[in-house]
Amino acid sequence: MSEQPIARTRFGLVRGFTHNGIEKFFGLPYCLPPTGSRRFEPPAPLTAWEGVLEATHHSPMCPQGPSDLEAVMGELHRPYGEDSLTLTINTPSTEGHYPVAVWFHGGANISGAGNLDWYDGEELARRGNLVVVGVNFRLAALGFLYHPAVNTENLSILDQIEALRWIQENIVAFGGDPKRVTVFGQSAGGNAIVHMMGLKETEGLFQAAILESPSIGRANHTRADAMRIAECHFKHLGLDPKDPELKAKIQAKGVDEILKATDECFAEMGREFGGMLFKPVKEEWRTPEATAKAAAQEAVRRGLHVVIGTTADEMHAFVQPKNEAEEKAIRTGQFERYDHPDDLFARLMAQGHGKIWKYHFEWKAPKSKFDSCHTIELPFVFGTLAAWEGSPMLAGATTEEMQKLTDTMMTYWCRFFNTGDFDASLWPAFDEKEAMHKIFDNGENGCRPVTFAKPE
């Protein structure tokens, strides 16, 4: 194994580095930077380069403001910039033929990055003997602004599809098998996978999926709502939606100006849209039920194998109840945003005789007020406990206890990445009658039926 591995992509040579026996490539572009006249345009295919591209340092994150979950997860520490549509690859060897796991991060479509230390794929690559890819994609207004004067595409989704196409064409150079690709994502990243699953143009780009707490209940925007949000954004940028030069003028705005206008839009309209101003526009999938049905039908048709699950206290990441009435309201919100639509997706797949497994994550840290909250499974999936040190949602848990749960979850996730299946005696496939779930509680981690009902 070379200390400085070199991979030959379709566009040229790239040089990475080796760390603890895993070959790593940072900041790999999968399309041209969406800067200047390419801002608010679909991803433009890469062009070839001369010589060897150094892939030893992370690209910036996509432009974003602070995450609304910093109080739960911890702070993000990475510069941002528009030249950030890149991949991070960890592989046991560029000479292999390993299964591929592609990560789509969460962050309500306004924050996060695939190249954060939280999501470093080194330990997954080592334990699972697989290639792990993290994806950066456009966020917030830069990824979801929709208006006939500027853009009528779901740019962030197109970025993610372009990344998957790049993987199909180039992952062999990094030791990956393009016919064994599993996509996995959490929250908005899981939502993106659900959306892509329903699109005909993604057929063949992946064979399996793990959906961690996808908020399918947020559904998609109608064109009318998306245009109202865009015009609010224009207003806070001092732009006129009827100006024939609008697109050129917004392309000339600085990134920080756009982020400031985004904050002002949230202040004005955020409550109306439940804090989710930016999401794909899809008239026919405007409801959670339509979104779940489209994705499930297509997953069954393609023969995709899917894992989906939620945490016991998703909404405690966003709000902690002060009394019984507040807790009931929070539970109702969780049912509508996560539990019901995610369960509906699984039931629709099972009705179509699709291969689907469900889990329920119930472990919580002893000194955390956030309980089994949204995002809490991520340190254990990636085996990156050191990167999560000091995370409030893990308060009071011992290293020994967290390592035990890490070993459990990584074993199951790596099994699925490699085989697309589980030992039925340890984790049976989901069916409507039994409603069996794998329980992650750091105790027996057994299986039991879990059903969801709206609080009365």
- What pLDDT was estimated at residue 2? 57
pLDDT of 329 reads 94
pTM of this prediction exceeds 0.95: yes
d(Cα 166, Cα 48) in Å, to the nearest integer?
A: 13
Mean pLDDT of 207-211: 98
CA 3 to chain centroid, in Å, comes to 31
Looking at residues 57-63, what average pLDDT do you find?
Answer: 96
- Alpha-carbon distance of 145 to 147, in angstroms, equals 7
Handedness of CA 62, 67, 73, 78 (dihedral sign): positive
Contact (CB, 8 A) for 217 and 336: yes
**89 and 108 Cβ atoms separated by less than 8 Å:** no
Phi, psi dihedrals of residue 95, rounded to the nearest 5° = -95, 0
- Cα–Cα nearest to 426, from 401, 403, 445, 451: 445
Position 67 scores a pLDDT of 75
* Distance from C-alpha of 177 to C-alpha of 181, rounded to nearest angstrom: 7
CA angle 103, 105, 110 (to 5 degrees): 150
Q: Point out which residues pair with 437 in neighbouring strands.
A: 448
State mean pLDDT over 404-413: 98
- Check residue 456 and give its pLDDT: 82
User: In the predicted model, what is the mean pLDDT of the chain?
Assistant: 96
Can you tell me the mean pLDDT for 185-214?
Answer: 98
pLDDT digits (tens, 9 = 90+) for 226-265: 999 999 999 999 999 999 999 999 999 999 999 999 999 9
**Interatomic CA distance for residues 404 and 414, integer angstroms:** 16
pLDDT-derived band at 3 (thresholds 50, 70, 90) equals confident
**Mean per-residue pLDDT, 139-144:** 97
Residue pointed to by tokens 């969406």: 34
Mean pLDDT confidence for 310-322: 94
Beta strands in 187-279 (DSSP E): 208-212
Q: What tens digit of pLDDT does each residue of 414-444 get?
A: 999 999 999 999 999 999 999 999 999 999 9
**Per-residue pLDDT averaged across 146-174, rounded?**
98
pLDDT mean over 356-370: 97
**Residue in the structure block whose two tokens are 């941002």:** 80
pLDDT of 387 > 60? The answer is yes
Quick one: pLDDT band at residue 73, thresholds 50, 70, 90? confident
Question: How far is 189 from 216, CA to CA, in rounded Å?
Answer: 11
The answer on pLDDT for 1 being more than 70 is: no
pLDDT at 245: 97
Q: List pLDDT tens digits, range 77-95.
A: 788 999 999 999 999 999 9
Crossing angle (nearest 10°) for helices 255-269 and 223-236: 120
Looking at residue 299, its pLDDT comes to: 98
For 100, the 3-state DSSP assignment is strand
As to burial, measured by CB atoms within 10 angstroms (0-12 exposed, 13-18 middle, 19+ buried), residue 209 is buried
Is the pLDDT at 74 greater than 90? The verdict is: no
Band of pLDDT at residue 273, cut at 50, 70 and 90: very high
Confidence class of residue 20 from pLDDT cuts 50, 70 and 90? Answer: very high
pLDDT tens sequence across 327-337: 999 999 999 99
State the pLDDT confidence band at 23, using cuts at 50, 70 and 90.
Answer: very high
CB atoms within 10 A of CB 115: 24
pLDDT band at residue 11, thresholds of 50, 70 and 90? very high
